[in-house]
């Protein structure tokens, strides 16, 4: 791999003085993410048709190139045929919503098994779920709504590609187009839900909306449970690089690893596009901070200007470092994974590789490597959050269609 582009990269790094390094998982964080909820999510999701653990690739060739002891890539591109880790969160939250609302209509508790079997189909038809999305979360909610039989509306902002809109519509959801940014689509969906008695199933949390995003995050920990079982000797990595977005995924990964490994948890590094760095700015200011997304990033799933409050409550003490990268690092990272070289070939979408791109750029800088504690003894985990969720965009960037790369 030619690293010249990374050698010239514009990287911003903020080391978090509020990080509770070397400390156990704080008891008050159990209100957001706890072992029981994580275990329940895994038990339920493992029972769904099509469930299988996604692969954890060992990238020995790239690790050698970067001077690392080991590099692991969790590949979520095959998750439930939906192409991303989001399949674990949105659909599971739809189920949790139905289990909460059906007893209000029937006067009886509703088990997950009975909901899935269609016992409450007539009641479920009257419960409309709605969310705003950059693509992958909406696809998961639409898939869950189809599985359980409820009407679904997905709000998508102007920057979402036609292919990602079609993928949602093909699952039976009504796609509602919104001018403006992702955050404006979130506000529009919330307003319409309140006006019509619909139920928001969001992957971001805000004042007055906390319950279902907890379940979304618990669903994501099915992935981290798999990772912990797939690691050689089940030992934790020294570092985890994960992309930001609103912080729901990052909060789930950070929180679950922190629960499992306590004071020995990995060093946790969040990587965001510099055009949508709400977590980085929140870290600088010491509180949730809104940023204006004036230009869309190529990392479409990370184009978020407002943090999830629940995610932030975990990330503020749990993240060791916050990093931003520029869009020009994404294409060479995708192409390196597609080429395989000495490693397994990986089909990775634009948002999937942000953490890996940040790691490569950091490792190419002696200064950043020293600050982050990266050296030849480091074992690093990155989360490949999606496959080619827009095949046309993928082909434009990589030069080959994803089917040809996978073959």
Catalytic sites, residue numbers:
86, 134
**Within 10 Å of residue 295's Cβ, how many Cβ atoms?**
11
Which DSSP state fits 235?
A: P
| Alpha carbon distance 280, 300 (integer Å) | 17
Partners of 324 in the beta sheet? 12, 272
**Helices 309-318 and 248-261: crossing angle, nearest 10°?**
50
> CB neighbours of 223 closer than 8 A, spacing ≥ 6?
54, 74, 76, 85, 88, 253, 383
- DSSP string over 254-265: HHHHHHHHGGGP
Q: φ, ψ for residue 357 (rounded to 5)?
A: -60, -40
Could you tell me the CA-to-CA distances from 349 to 83, 89, 333, 394 in Å, in that order? 9, 19, 10, 7
- Please state the separation of Cα 126 from the chain's center in Å: 30
| Alpha carbon distance 229, 81 (integer Å) | 22
| Alpha carbon distance 348, 86 (integer Å) | 15
Contact 400, 49 (CB under 8 A): no
Contact 201, 137 (CB under 8 A): no
Which residue is listed with tokens 């690293």? Answer: 3
| Residue of 3, 28, 16, 33 lying closest to 267 (CA atoms) | 16
Q: How wide is the angle at C-alpha 217 spanned by C-alphas 45 and 294, nearest 5°?
A: 130
C-beta pairs of 396-401 under 8 Å, 24+ apart in sequence: 397/330, 397/331, 397/334, 397/335, 397/350, 398/331, 398/334, 398/335, 398/338, 399/335, 400/338
Contact 312, 251 (CB under 8 A): yes
């Amino acid at each position: 791999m030619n690293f010249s582009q990374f050698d010239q990269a514009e990287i911003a790094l903020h080391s978090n003085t509020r990080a509770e390094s070397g400390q156990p998982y704080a008891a008050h964080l159990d209100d957001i993410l706890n072992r029981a909820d994580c275990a329940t999510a895994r038990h339920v999701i493992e029972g769904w048709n099509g469930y299988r653990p996604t692969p954890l690739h060992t990238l020995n060739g790239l690790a050698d190139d970067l001077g690392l002891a080991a590099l692991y890539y969790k590949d979520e591109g095959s998750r439930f045929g939906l192409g991303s880790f989001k399949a674990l969160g949105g659909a599971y939250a739809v189920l949790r919503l139905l289990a909460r609302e059906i007893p209000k209509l029937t006067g009886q508790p509703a088990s997950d098994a009975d909901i899935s079997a269609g016992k409450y189909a007539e009641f479920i038809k009257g419960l409309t779920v709605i969310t705003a999305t950059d693509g992958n979360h909406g696809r998961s909610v639409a898939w869950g709504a189809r599985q359980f039989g409820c009407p679904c509306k997905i709000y998508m902002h102007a920057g979402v590609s036609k292919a990602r809109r079609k993928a949602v519509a093909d699952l039976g959801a009504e796609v509602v187009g919104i001018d403006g940014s992702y955050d404006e689509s979130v506000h529009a969906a919330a307003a319409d839900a309140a006006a019509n008695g619909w139920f928001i199933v969001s992957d971001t949390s805000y004042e007055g909306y906390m319950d279902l995003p907890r379940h979304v995050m618990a669903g994501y920990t099915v992935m981290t449970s798999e990772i912990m079982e797939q690691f050689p000797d089940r030992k934790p990595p020294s570092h985890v690089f994960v992309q930001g977005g609103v912080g729901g995924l990052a909060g789930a990964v950070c929180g679950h690893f922190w629960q499992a490994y306590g004071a020995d948890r990995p060093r946790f590094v969040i990587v965001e596009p510099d055009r949508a760095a709400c977590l980085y700015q929140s870290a600088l200011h010491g509180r949730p901070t809104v940023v204006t997304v004036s230009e869309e990033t190529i990392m479409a799933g990370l184009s978020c200007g407002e943090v999830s409050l629940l995610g932030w409550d975990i990330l503020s003490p749990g993240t060791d470092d916050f990093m931003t990268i520029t869009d020009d690092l994404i294409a060479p990272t995708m192409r390196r994974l597609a080429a395989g070289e000495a490693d397994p070939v990986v089909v990775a979408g634009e948002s999937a590789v942000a953490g890996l791109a940040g790691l490569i750029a950091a490792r190419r800088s002696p200064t950043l490597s020293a600050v982050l504690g990266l050296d030849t003894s480091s074992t690093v985990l990155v989360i490949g959050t999606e496959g080619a969720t827009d095949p046309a965009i993928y082909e434009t960037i990589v030069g080959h269609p994803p089917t040809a790369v996978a073959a």
